[in-house]
Amino acid sequence: MTDRQQIPSPAPSLPRVAGLVVVDKPLGWTSHDVVSRMRRLAGTRKVGHAGTLDPAASGVLVVGVEKATKLLTYVTGTDKTYRASIRLGAATVTDDAEGDVTSTAAPERLAALTDDAVLAAVAELTGEIQQVPSAVSAIKVDGQRSYARVRKGEDVELPARSVTVHEFTVHGISREPSDAEPTAVDVDATVTCSSGTYIRALARDLGEALGVGGHLTALRRTRVGSFTLEQSHTLDELTDQVRAGGTVSTLPIDDAARGLFPVRELTAREATDLSHGRRIAATQNRPGEASSGDGAASRSGAGVGDTTSASDAAASGSRESRAGLPMACFAPDGTLVALAEDRGPADRRYTTSVLGIAAGMTFTDAAASDDAGVEGPRAGDPGAETDGTTRTERTHD
């Protein structure tokens, strides 16, 4: 990492834009290293990331700046795509190339391993599977990270959990040093999976299924939700932007929300009520369909349809994955007011904020005085407080 004194910060007079930055994390950096660099480059301490990448992995790391950090929980939960290199023939204590080798397969066993056998084992690891996370993961065991316990010499056994591998496509299978007498079989693959899937565990399980052992040798994340490598910036590029007198390239929070969530366009009255923690009339669309229809143009000039198409192209099934997400609710002027959900029994449905973004604001339009049918807060209304803020706003601000 470069000395901190050499890292520029934006001029105090420049605005700090709340939004997401898609970073191409370099090898050797922790995700926290990237956040530390971004705090300097963005000129704010309010920076976080969505989905840890190990130092030995590179690729897409979505970073939130200012209020956009509130969106990171939802980004973390999206599907991800990786390009992975797996070596069959040896197992390691960390399930990757950095750990000590615990077992190796005999050359004759590897020589008998056919491509068809590898592809069949890959197929068994596709779909919804039960996966035991790597022992060197960041999962906490009795309040302590699993990897910290492993480093102390403890034997850690983590319970299996359900994950979904949407795609496990093999691009190439090669043998080293020769086909006749291999000491390793290398598999190059693309994996698209649900949040919480460990690619190194897939490599381990593939080797175990074939009876030869296996571990991950290289990993590059190419997509997180709708965010891809094509949208990413290297840290050097971001540094040059600030050094030239500008600010880091940021996807504004409004545009980010339009790409991540179903969209509901509000009237001025609805926007004001939701901003003050009051429930409003339920949406007419199902949550998964709220983005189709009127919420067409973001105020930066990009259409909602454009953003949604990019998301759909990045991963099959992304439209379905939106169905369980809250709605991004926008005021007539394009301000992201809140993330909200429809709640209540079928005959008394209402929309309430689950994550306030623009709290305590008043919005106006020509028809504001004619709006009606919006219900005020009730005692015990989830999401409403007596002072007009939402519980989520208090938690996150």
Candidate list 54, 96, 205, 342, residue with the active-site label:
54
Please name the helix (run of DSSP H) or strand (run of DSSP E) that holds residue 252, with its range, or none.
strand 251-252
Let me know if 54 is a catalytic residue: yes
Classified as helix, coil or strand, 302 is: coil
Asked if residue 233 lies in contact with residue 249, where contact means CB atoms within 8 angstroms, the answer is yes
Distances from the Cα of 8 to the Cαs of 22, 37, 61, 99, 397, in angstroms?
A: 19, 10, 21, 36, 27
Distances from the Cα of 266 to the Cαs of 348, 368, 381, in angstroms?
A: 19, 11, 20
In whole angstroms, give the CA distance from residue 392 to residue 395.
Answer: 5
3-state percent helix, strand, coil for the chain, nearest multiple of 5: 30, 30, 40
What lies within 8 Å, CB to CB, of 244 at 6+ separation is none
171: amino acid identity, one letter: H
Which residues are catalytically annotated?
54
